[in-house]
Amino acid sequence: MRAVTEDDKKIAKTVLSAFKGGSPVVRNYFNDSHDVSVDILSVVGTPDVDISSYGTIGLSDYPMLECGKKNPTRLELCGAALSSFTLFPNILSEAAFTIIKSSEVWRPGHFLKNIVGHYELESSLRSLYFTTPFFWEEDLHELNLNGKAINWLMCFPISDAELGYLEKYGEAQFENMLEAAGVNVFDTSRSSCV
């Protein structure tokens, strides 16, 4: 289990303030080999009564590498899902572990293929999309802690057809399409809009 640092406490306070919810629960998640862990803060009933919000704490301890050099930006992840979709924090932690072991810089528009399908076999929303935290953009902006510039990426599940659209047309057109279709990205049981 990871030791809780002062930076962790500041990140948790920032995330909790953004979620504007009730009682937070923080749970530790390990990767398969139990050598890396992140915490996930969850708040039930926000932003709506049947939705829970989640945020990583500790992903920003790990630098992203760009051409073998440490990128100055560090990441934390956030997202929300139907409270009945209890596997979302597992998916979020798996995404964090993938980012930790990767040798790339993660930005809005990136995705993890089939990560949701790994946990929820029956779901038509099999991949995870990363974007700016538009739902919490007023509160989850860059946080500077001890020389680290921490930024958040919001994650939500997308279908194979939506992923194909994203790959073909790019993130701006993909997000415009989701908005025009009125997609509720927190509804993990939704149908594909493509």
Main-chain dihedrals φ then ψ at residue 28, nearest 5 degrees: -90, 135
Helices 171-180, 160-169: axis angle to 10 degrees equals 130
Distance in angstroms (rounded) separating the CA atoms of residues 28 and 39: 4
Give the Cα separation of 145 and 128 in Å (integer). Answer: 28
| Residues facing residue 157 across a β-bridge | 128
Total-model pTM: 0.94
Q: Which residues make Cβ contacts (< 8 Å) with residue 34, sequence separation at least 6?
A: none
Confidence at residue 135, expressed as pLDDT on a 0 to 100 scale: 86
Span 24-39, average pLDDT: 93
Output the pLDDT for position 3: 82
The answer to whether residues 188 and 157 touch, using CB atoms and an 8 Å cutoff, is yes
Higher pLDDT, 163 or 21: 163
pLDDT at 1 over 70: no
Cα(182)–Cα(53) distance, integer angstroms: 20
Contact status, residue 106 vs residue 75, Cβ threshold 8 Å: yes
